[in-house]
Amino acid sequence: MDYLIALILGLVQGAMEFLPVSSSGHIVLLSRWFNISETLTLSIILHVATLLSVLVVFRRQIWELIKHPFSKQSLHIIVACLSTCVVAIIFKKFLEDSFGGTLLPYCFLITAILLLVTQFVSKKIKFGKPINFKSSVLVGLIQGVAILPGISRSGSTICGALLAKTDREEAADFSFLISLPIIVGSAILDIIKIATSNNSLTHALPLPVGALILSFVVSFIVGVICVKLMRKLTQKNILWPFSIYLVVLAILAFIF
């Protein structure tokens, strides 16, 4: 059972972190339906795995950012992440309480509507604008709201960039690049929680090492596949299938 739980969470995190359907929303649903709990240790492992997925796919862009830390792209990423932090700090209590699942079906519906609106509106939009200061702030604020379970981080930030008439490829790439500091930050916060917890190491590591390794590998491999898939779907403007999926998920969340 431990290995099955690790496999499920690895699949969910690796796929849903990058597809526009909300990984946190799925984990909340899994916890509710199957009494599966994502421990802090497993959360760190999953975050590191998805972080590695982005690093592998965007290794060239990331290397350029490292070589040119004061480039426009680097500054836009910083501005976006600072905007995210502002939302997270101001609405910290509300965002934490949202993981109880009360708002989950509504958030799934909001994401579904956002994807559909972007799908149809984008047909009339002339794309090609580069990311600028205003669009960086907008996308960063949206990423902050996407902390809510059910609001897809990748989906909402890509939609926000597209509605700002950003080039499709750049919109997808920017969404994934600004996820890096957030994923790192989440992992660091989880490490701090474990370090300051009174729980024993045994409690902090409730799954066998083999199960943790399985979860990491699955999440990483699925993450790489889904990052590449989402980039292609964004360029081809194929978002509506995820809206249908989210509506069905919202109905299930309402019922169960």
Residue 124 has phi, psi (to 5 degrees) of: -105, 0
Per the structure, the count of domains in the chain is 1
CA distance 181 to 84: 10
Partners of 27 in the β-ladder: none
Q: What is the mean pLDDT of residues 142-162?
A: 95
pLDDT digit string, tens, across residues 92-125: 999 988 888 789 999 999 999 999 999 988 877 7
Task: Name the one residue in this structure whose structure tokens are 């409690």.
Answer: 203
110 CB-near residues (< 8 Å, 6+ apart):
150, 151
Nearest CA to 116 among 250, 247, 249? 247
Query: Does the pLDDT of residue 204 top 70, yes or no?
Result: no
Q: Which amino acid is at 217?
A: V
Can you tell me whether residue 114 is helix, strand or coil? helix
Residue 166 has phi, psi (to 5 degrees) of: -70, 150
CA distance 40 to 118: 35
Task: Dig out the tokens for 109 from the structure.
Answer: 């519906």
pLDDT of residue 179: 92
pTM to 2 decimals? 0.89
pLDDT digit string, tens, across residues 125-143: 777 889 999 999 999 999 9
Domain extent for 143: 2-255
Whether 212 contacts 3, CB under 8 Å:
no
